[in-house]
Structure 1
């Protein structure tokens, strides 16, 4: 049993509408899509044209600067359209599904008996490599790098987050196969972040780290910072727990299977629960006829309410998302809202009387309750970041484009999700995550 790392800093936002542990299998949607915009820093080059017939596992596009990193079709069918934005930027590749189109075949083998190069080649060709991210920066890992270690968090503490103990029920052997494959890619260790009562405690070939505490204790970046912080020159890889299973399936079956489980949750969902669908499924296939009827606007989010992307029924599920959250938009006028004692309101600063009911779940909306104000130095952010960094000073270094200060203040350790609570609690309404990504982009541009 590993030593328990107890984190005190952070905040649990208790929203109404957590997904009930019930799984419903959805039919294969009529269309699916991959969106190059889901990958920060990617310059995509197309491998197909509209009307092309593809099998599941065929390449749709690749990284211009790392051509070996390909992004493959989650299902077989026909390329229905290639949608572009300004300056012909590729926004999404939409596939009309056809189950009879078949799947591309790969090598079926036990990864423990393969070499590093064989494992890496299989993951690359199958299109599963983009699930592996690198720290610093939280971008797709480079196949030419050698990570010091690999980190996997098996639990998520974000609001309404899926329970991975339930999601991976009955798939632990496949998860183990995925771990064995990842272990071939590093000379270091595969680190598994677990919480109390975890179903992942029996996994072999890993170093187990147990964490307790409020959100963001489940963030892999927080777990890295509290076990072996990243310094300049260090490279570690991370991967989502459900994506490890996709790698395991590849080696067990010799086929790509992009089936995944997505939680539909939030106060605006009639019966929040889990749905089995496929990567890149239409948002409409998940939410149609499943939301409460309301005389106000509702916000649909691909991901969690802190870091997710606002979407609509005409868009597709994000590449890395295992959650769709639906909450009220909050764009209606609230009469004398500032004077409300707030028995039914939640506040990070405990400004409302709702603080008297610590176990209560809240129906919160997306209203900012004010506009951007002066960005002053306070100790507010430090309450929500269980890391040895100064978030306000780091963000100010980004704003003035001071690379040396960014390095000294910890930009190698964080990505957007690690500072998302700061943005939620910020009195000044600062776009913390946007600023941080701009700083990361600067570091990549200037230092590589």
Structure 2
């Protein structure tokens, strides 16, 4: 029996350019890249040298702090470039793909008979452990810890996000295999959330506690669901896994092979024919972006959704955790006296000369313009209207800015991740970088307290 969760606070940002429910195969990418910024806090130690030939699923590097945590290649080919930054820090690994792909095979694991430690070792060796993230700190989970529960959100509410009900169709066997394995890694429950309407393949799985979620964004964020179902206190931790990452884990368990296939939603008003593409982790964005065509010369590619994604380019590469690529107009134009006249073509959380609240289902063609610049951080009371967690967002942000560890702890920093503040950042009249502030606060808390 499912448990319903209704979120009242939030804000839906309805944008033009949602992906149609049709899937095409992307053009094969010549080069695939692993961006080390996707693995926050990981210090890599290389296992192969530039120029080496690697197979799909072969380890490229490991985590310096946890040597058993391996990060593998999505394809077979030649490691043609190791991009380094300041102090020779590794930024990106680029692999020139072979025309004929070869994949490393592991012995298939019998999950029903396997122990907790055997399953962990198998996922670590097979390269699937980086898909498991933990709260607090929103980093790759430490395999030496035990979570009190595991959360999986199959309900996407972010603007133009991929429809999980659609992309998970036909993957029930892989999903169930992954759930069976994860259930042995925690003494608690595996909480799976789906939309109250629709028919998600996740709702048919065994060994889960199902929750049906409804409400505006950020109802689909796993942080919102953790807060409403099983909040985190100091000394506790939970793990989270994305549904599409479950498929890769399940396929490794069933076949012994790491399959980096990913179904992504190409969306946004700058795309002529937004739809879904099957590609691989780390593929060149241009291999599917130009297949759908673009509407204008000036547009911005967002690696992810428009609230939490990172700025990229057509020559960029699909992020390790991303299921959406968005292209929207570049906001390099400015309105004269735009602040003192009625606004009908933008989304706003206020009712001061704005009228989006009168048409909650209207779709907007927004660009990247922030409609203002960085200014004094003032108290408005707006954040609480769109922030459903039982946390004071303004106070927590300011505690992070002044690096007050006691206040950060008491105000609930353990529970949140940067994405939980993406909506407050969107409506912020002070134009403060909320997600960056929270990320820096989490890093400081982890460094000082652990």
Alignment TM class, shorter chain as reference? over 0.9
* Residue in structure 1 matched with residue 227 of structure 2 by the alignment: 225
Alignment of 1:176-195 (within 5 A): 176-195=176-195
Alignment of 1:37-436 (within 5 A): 37-196=37-196, 197-199=198-200, 200-294=202-296, 297-351=298-352, 352-436=354-438
- C-alpha contact 2:418 2:439 (8 A) present in aligned 1: yes
> 5+ unaligned residues in a row in structure 2: which ranges?
none
- C-alpha contact 2:234 2:414 (8 A) present in aligned 1: yes
**Aligned CA-pair RMSD:** 1.3
> 5+ unaligned residues in a row in structure 1: which ranges?
none
What whole-Å deviation, never above 9, does each CA across 1:312-335 have from its counterpart, x for those lacking one? 122211111000011111102334
- C-alpha contact 1:75 1:99 (8 A) present in aligned 2: no
CA distance in 2, matches of 1:345, 1:395: 26
- C-alpha contact 1:110 1:177 (8 A) present in aligned 2: no
- C-alpha contact 1:107 1:122 (8 A) present in aligned 2: no
- C-alpha contact 2:26 2:278 (8 A) present in aligned 1: yes
Most deviating of 300-309 and 80-89: 80-89
* Count of matched residue pairs: 447
- C-alpha contact 2:349 2:382 (8 A) present in aligned 1: no
* Residue in structure 2 matched with residue 445 of structure 1 by the alignment: 447
The two structures have a TM-score, normalised by structure 2, of: 0.97
SS in 2 for 1:310: strand
- C-alpha contact 2:155 2:213 (8 A) present in aligned 1: no
CA distance in 2, matches of 1:314, 1:292: 14
SS in 1 for 2:121: helix
CA distance in 2, matches of 1:8, 1:31: 44
The two structures have a TM-score, normalised by structure 1, of: 0.97
CA distance in 1, matches of 2:355, 2:100: 58
Most deviating of 139-148 and 366-375: 366-375
CA distance in 2, matches of 1:63, 1:254: 22
CA distance in 1, matches of 2:295, 2:276: 21
